Structure 1
Amino acid sequence: MAYLFKEPAQHIRRSIDKHLPMDREKTSDAIPIPNTKEPGFSSVYRNAYSPDNLIGVPYPSLDTLYNLFEYSVEVNGDKRAFGTRVKNADGTFGEYVFEDYNTIHKRRNNFGSGIFFVLQNNPFRTDSDAHKKMDYNPSSTDSFVLCIFSHNRAEWALTDLTCVAYSITNTALYDTLGPESSKYILELTESPIVVCSKEKLRGLIELKRDNPEQLANLITLVSMDPLTPHDEPLKDFARENRITLFDIKQVEQLGEINHLPTKPPKPETNFTISFTSGTSGAHPKGVVLTNANAVAGVTFMYATREFKKAPVFYSFLPLAHIYERATIQFALSAGAAIGFPQSPSPLTLLDDVKVLQPNFLALVPRVYTKLEAAIKSQTIHNDDKPMLKSIFTNAINRRLELQSQQDHIQPSHLIYDRVSTLLRKKIGFGNVESVATGSAPISPETIKFLKASLNIGMAQGYGLTESFAGCCVSSTFESNPGSCGAISVTTEIKLRDIPEMNYTADDEGGPRGELLLRGPQIFKEYFKNPEETAKAIDEDGWFHTGDIARINSNYGNRLYIIDRVKNFFKLAQGEYVTPERIENCYLSQFPYITQMFCHGDSLQTYLVAIVGLDPTTISKYIGHRFHDKIVNLEDVAEFFKNPKNKKILLQDMNAAVSKQLQGFEKIHNIDVSIEPLTLEKGVITPTMKIRRPIATNYFRETLDKLYEEGSIIRNGNL
């Protein structure tokens, strides 16, 4: 959109700051729109703050990611932008060293110019349609696709910014999808260039060597790490397979010499194609997301986040997924200092956080449950230090009571605030004010405990790749945690009846059914996949998420995700069972397990499950329940091969869910280990969702064996 008068960035900044943070009392609830209820559907719901229209931009002129970053550079130019830890001579890591926004802006322009130079002057360029898109043409709207392949690092985010500035559509490759999916994505997108970390180079060259025709368009690799004279054999290997190899500094230098003006995108310009791993095991689908989708996602965060004027973020979740990319785009527009991990390993999280001292963290449930277990073992379960245990038990119980009294309020306590501060500092959370969780279910009890023990806010959100990450999020101090908050100002929702699962719009307490989304955040299409696009988006523009939601009419019409469409099966006696709801119930009520795959069969009358134990708490459970001591985790699985021990564990699990589940929903036999569900086995997605068809096949022998053993609780008092 063009404007006759351009407002100064500082004026925009003052206008935005004047309204932030937004009053959560005004944005935390939703309302049904009158006269929108139709047979088989609920009413349409919108955020109470803006019931008459959806909001897609934070400010009129900030309508693309390019304009958001240009604005941010103008008001935050000399502030810290991207931070990387210095590696010491002994292999350890020191402090974070930052580049400011002005430096990143300059590097972005040089890198973009250099990308076009190395592609246009590439000796392996052909006259293919894909290679014709590599020409720099300011008026063209047809872009080639650039792939990014590495763990989180400053160069990843720099490449993303570069693609925005030069209207280059990008996508991400990631290890968890495997080389076959990388080949599929490269072939489907006809990508001519991959920007990657150095350790990925050889594998990518080998991939082209083994698939020369399918990957004929791949002609350039750019290493995020420096290339040295020792890498000449690698360059020769690349040339033998019709690929030129550069490092990022070389490309930036070439761009500085051969400068090209930026090519700003329009709102409808494609920003990225984000490939989702899915739960079915089929090829990943490419979600096409425009600048308008992305800016609406950033707008959602402006409307819901409470942050300091100089926020510090830690980029932990994979940038290959939309959750982290949305967070980073918001952070950049807000002038945040963004620190990147020292390595791909998640084990360095707390070490990095202690050094960086962020005030906000976006993580996933699996990280929070491990943190919860670690804190409990040092506080309320610390039998070795009874006085410390007593102090924290009293502090946490009192804070739980205070936090349950009113929404949006962080209650204070003269003594217990100091206790929480000491705990936060010990684990590196000294400056953390709030955290967010998403991408998978989390127990409300985990949220309550972390908020109470650390005295911080914790918000739970809901979103998908197709909605450019979050489209609703709870208040950081929701008095009764468990909801995903009200639908945001950017999106409207309605629920579709699923009568075969007993979910309808007329259910008591609020409608239940499949969640449908519509608005500026919702994706455009699946890449080169009109069939799947037509299945997902109906003729009225509603995206059918496949998630079952409940709208709590007694609590601000806030959203709860409770199930998945088609995620159910019938037992031999005719009852329908929804495994995800059952799994979430066990995981939230029995703290000694962290994984569960619930399975049923139409020829059987009961359920069985694959169970993963919590490595940080299971030893204490065994000591308390069995009066036995196990030192090595490897011995835990062996311990529960004993039928008597396994039966007691299962009885305790079932006792914990006795009020939440009906008899036919309870598990009758289990296979026990520490971490049975892993990415390497292919049974879960990178966001920890179970790929049920694959998991069923993978564990087929184990499941059959459980049914052969029969129910181990049939004679129990359950």
Structure 2
Amino acid sequence: MGLQSDSALQAILLFPIHLVTWLYSALSFLPWYYMTGAGERKALSKREKARSTTGCAEGPYRSVDHFDSLARQDIPGKDTLDKLFEHAVQRFGPAHCLGTRDLLSDENEVQPSGKLFKKLIMGEYRWLSYNEVDSVVGQFGSGLAALGQQPKSSIAIFCETRAEWMITAQTCFRRNFPLVTFYATLGEDAITFGLNETGVTHLVTSVDLLETRLKHVLPLIPKLKHVIYVDQKKMNTAGYPSGLSIHSMQAVLELGTLPENMGRAIVKPQPSDQAMVMYTSGSTGRPKGVMIVHSNLIAGMTGQCDRILGLGPKDTYIAYLPLAHVLEMTAEISCITYGCRIGYSSPQTLSDQSTKIKTGSKGDCSVLRPTLFAAVPEIMDRIYRNVMSKVQEMNFVQRTLFTLGYKYKLEQIERGYDAPLCNALLFRKVKKLLGGQVRMILSGGAPLSSATQRFINVCFCCPVGQGYGLTETCGAGTITEFADISTGRVGAPVICSEIRLRDWAEGGYTSRDKPNPRGEILIGGPNVTMGYYKQESHDQDFFVDIKGQRWFCTGDVGEIYADGCLQIVDRKKDLVKLQAGEYVSLGKVECALKNCSIIDNICAYANSEQSYVISFVVPNQKRMMDLAKERGIVGAWEEICTHPDMEREVLKEIKEVAANIKLQRFEIPVKVHLTPEPWTPETGLVTDAFKLKRKELKDHYLHHIERMYGGK
């Protein structure tokens, strides 16, 4: 009876809404269509974006916008990174460049579990202009030179994303100091290996990383002579190796202002000079240092910027991803080149609901109100789950209106149109989660699900530029065009790159596949880097063709559509052959099962000596607790996750979702282990781009693997 009354109430409620919506659409569509150029955008979405230069299905495929040759630089004559920054200072001197929020106070907040959690109260952004950054870069360079740093000798940075990171980078570009970069989440063994492999004598870091990560391993790094910490505070230098000098960044800046140091000659870099050695956190094994020259980065950013319409001084970019990741670093340098301002943030302070923001205080997005926002899919998936969780908490009328508006706008977007009334009435509050002004979101690091992409399009009222690239290609490969309304694809080759497909017979992917050619993705162009630092055994992934062009073999498997756009469909390293001979793509299984509402993250695992797939799952806490309550299961979060009945409930939902998306029987995980702790870069189980580290996950859950496979 209750269900019938709910259905009747819903029908009564929806009729006038449907009527109003239909009338509004009928009256407003034609004026909106012509005033916003919707028809032109729809045509751009459907146009051919790239085609094969040879007419062969395997390619190479090149953008039709730069078909005759690959682009190498966007601004004539600016062929090194120091020239780009000099050009930006000349054009935008007094304008805001780099911004950092004031920390007003912090306090410990008691959590329901009894744990103390530090919460921050923060003020406004303080800005350095382009001219001021230029001055600091000059002083810091003179100070480093006074400390013995030589041109073409590497200097390392191991630091969180902040203005001082970018200042250090610009200093190194100007002085021809190759910059060695490390993720701030790298473990002690990895950072020790990298610093010793490159033999650096100078290191820039923060007090926190110096005291918690570096202090114990510094005796193992004998060539390191100078450590510069970027924080504006004093630190206790007791307990550090006697031959090591520790300086504050402020002290080095003051050293750089002394007359005898200001006059030191500056050796400018050439396009072929090494700009950096960028260590990847790596999803397997020890980190590899990718050698990148100035011309590589210039070409890569030329391709990226071509796909961001209207990039310029009116834009504000929020910087919170790791600057040691090529996506974030090239995004920030590109923003500086075109006069945008960059406000620094962190994942813990990004929004009003972020973990370190005191309740009632404003997160960084609310204060900065960015227009450009970059994210890895894991962060966008998290935003999607949080918003949809709030929707489920709405009352019946609110939830019905939101669902109706969402479906209506989704239909409009899939036709290439928009729904301005829904934007104004329903999605304004959701937009404010990111400040309310975001005009484009850039996604990279891993494939983004179609559901999450559409959610961003609908609720945040902006396009998602999904891209594909690697550190080895300076982050450039493909990016979706602004007007492209398709989902699940990563766009056409950018104007500095071209794409080839190489048959992978073992995996069943060839250029003869129908309806579209498939194969391993090879990326070629001036953005392809020079190989791995002192690890020649890995350089077989690079090759030079008969025309002298460098190529990188990605190990990813792609499919190229008739319009020249690429879709990532598999990864060679993710393919496992089961005991009965079936091939399982672990990445495909994980991507499919992330659509389960009860799953926040998942790692599929298969052993070739076994006949079935198993999985480790980070469950969604709210859904799990609600489900446990329904089943009469009580206990702490850790107890809920280890309860056998909850494992069975999660497996049941996995099987339902797998059946709907038509996974093969042998691809569906048969057993599951639920883990109460989320996987973050700090745990060492995922990279800084939130890619799974399969070896570390296998080692971490070895006991559970043996249990699920019937071992000890």
TM-score calculated relative to the size of structure 1: 0.84
Is structure 2 residue 248 aligned with structure 1 residue 247? yes
- For 1:62, the equivalent position in structure 2 comes to 78
- Picking from 358, 366, 385, the partner of 2:378 is 366
CA distance in 1, matches of 2:356, 2:299: 32
Deviation at 1:375, TM superposition (A): 1.1
Tell me, what secondary structure is at the counterpart of 2:70? coil
CA distance in 1, matches of 2:349, 2:419: 36
CA distance in 2, matches of 1:340, 1:661: 42
Deviation at 1:226, TM superposition (A): 3.1
Q: Over residues 477-529 of structure 1, what are the superposed CA-to-partner deviations in whole Å (9 max), with x where a residue is unaligned?
A: 53231100111111011011111110111110211111001101111121122
Structure 1's 622 and 304: CA in aligned 2 closer, same or farther, altered over 3 A?
farther
Is contact 2:319-2:346 (8 Å) kept? no
Deviation at 1:43, TM superposition (A): 2.0
- For 2:190, the equivalent position in structure 1 comes to 181
Tell me, what secondary structure is at the counterpart of 2:65? coil
Structure 1's 621 and 459: CA in aligned 2 closer, same or farther, altered over 3 A?
farther
Is contact 2:44-2:483 (8 Å) kept? no
Is contact 1:614-1:674 (8 Å) kept? no
- For 1:545, the equivalent position in structure 2 comes to 554
- For 2:126, the equivalent position in structure 1 comes to 97
- For 2:257, the equivalent position in structure 1 comes to 256
Is contact 1:592-1:614 (8 Å) kept? yes
Structure 1's 327 and 445: CA in aligned 2 closer, same or farther, altered over 3 A?
same
Is contact 1:341-1:348 (8 Å) kept? no
Q: Over residues 124-182 of structure 1, what are the superposed CA-to-partner deviations in whole Å (9 max), with x where a residue is unaligned?
A: xxxxxxxxxx446xxxxxx1111112111111110001001111101123342211111
CA distance in 1, matches of 2:634, 2:404: 30
Is contact 1:26-1:49 (8 Å) kept? no
Structure 1's 344 and 266: CA in aligned 2 closer, same or farther, altered over 3 A?
farther
Structure 1's 539 and 697: CA in aligned 2 closer, same or farther, altered over 3 A?
farther
Deviation at 1:344, TM superposition (A): 6.7
CA distance in 1, matches of 2:463, 2:265: 43
Deviation at 1:698, TM superposition (A): 2.7
Is structure 2 residue 430 aligned with structure 1 residue 423? yes
Give the count of matched residue pairs: 642
Tell me, what secondary structure is at the counterpart of 1:250? helix
Is structure 2 residue 423 aligned with structure 1 residue 444? no
Deviation at 1:256, TM superposition (A): 1.8
- Picking from 339, 345, 369, the partner of 1:341 is 345
Is contact 1:209-1:241 (8 Å) kept? no
Is contact 2:160-2:184 (8 Å) kept? no
Deviation at 1:118, TM superposition (A): 1.5
- Picking from 271, 288, 291, the partner of 1:288 is 291
- For 1:651, the equivalent position in structure 2 comes to 652
CA distance in 1, matches of 2:212, 2:590: 38
The amino acid of 1:593's aligned partner reads I
- For 2:201, the equivalent position in structure 1 comes to 192
- For 1:268, the equivalent position in structure 2 comes to 272
- Picking from 605, 609, 617, the partner of 2:615 is 609
Is structure 2 residue 52 aligned with structure 1 residue 32? yes
Deviation at 1:27, TM superposition (A): 8.9
CA distance in 1, matches of 2:139, 2:282: 36
Tell me, what secondary structure is at the counterpart of 2:520? strand
Is structure 2 residue 421 aligned with structure 1 residue 414? yes
CA distance in 2, matches of 1:491, 1:146: 30
Tell me, what secondary structure is at the counterpart of 1:436? strand
TM-score calculated relative to the size of structure 2: 0.85
CA distance in 1, matches of 2:680, 2:137: 37
Moved more, 653-662 or 459-468: 653-662
Is structure 2 residue 390 aligned with structure 1 residue 378? yes
Is contact 1:149-1:196 (8 Å) kept? yes
- For 1:113, the equivalent position in structure 2 comes to 142
- For 2:26, the equivalent position in structure 1 comes to none
Is contact 1:28-1:474 (8 Å) kept? no
CA distance in 1, matches of 2:551, 2:171: 32
Is contact 2:500-2:523 (8 Å) kept? yes
- Give ranges in structure 2 of 5+ residues lacking alignment: 1-40, 107-119
- Picking from 156, 159, 164, the partner of 1:155 is 164
- Give ranges in structure 1 of 5+ residues lacking alignment: 1-20, 120-133, 137-142, 711-718
Is contact 1:221-1:246 (8 Å) kept? yes
Tell me, what secondary structure is at the counterpart of 1:294? helix
The percent identity for this pair of structures is 25
- For 1:302, the equivalent position in structure 2 comes to 305
CA distance in 1, matches of 2:495, 2:257: 42
- For 2:505, the equivalent position in structure 1 comes to 499
- For 2:584, the equivalent position in structure 1 comes to 577
Structure 1's 262 and 312: CA in aligned 2 closer, same or farther, altered over 3 A?
farther
Tell me, what secondary structure is at the counterpart of 1:176? coil
Tell me, what secondary structure is at the counterpart of 1:569? strand
Is contact 1:151-1:344 (8 Å) kept? no
CA distance in 2, matches of 1:594, 1:580: 15
Is contact 2:183-2:688 (8 Å) kept? no
- Measured on the aligned residues, the alpha-carbon RMSD in Å equals 2.6
Deviation at 1:305, TM superposition (A): 0.7
Q: Over residues 293-326 of structure 1, what are the superposed CA-to-partner deviations in whole Å (9 max), with x where a residue is unaligned?
A: 1111221222101345421011110111111101
Tell me, what secondary structure is at the counterpart of 1:475? coil
- For 1:46, the equivalent position in structure 2 comes to 62
Deviation at 1:187, TM superposition (A): 0.8
Structure 1's 286 and 186: CA in aligned 2 closer, same or farther, altered over 3 A?
same
Q: Over residues 185-232 of structure 1, what are the superposed CA-to-partner deviations in whole Å (9 max), with x where a residue is unaligned?
A: 111111010111122334577356532xxx23211111112354xx4x
The amino acid of 1:707's aligned partner reads Y
Moved more, 197-206 or 215-224: 197-206
- For 1:81, the equivalent position in structure 2 comes to 97
Q: Over residues 362-400 of structure 1, what are the superposed CA-to-partner deviations in whole Å (9 max), with x where a residue is unaligned?
A: 011111111111111222x23x42222122111111110
The amino acid of 1:108's aligned partner reads V
- For 1:470, the equivalent position in structure 2 comes to 476
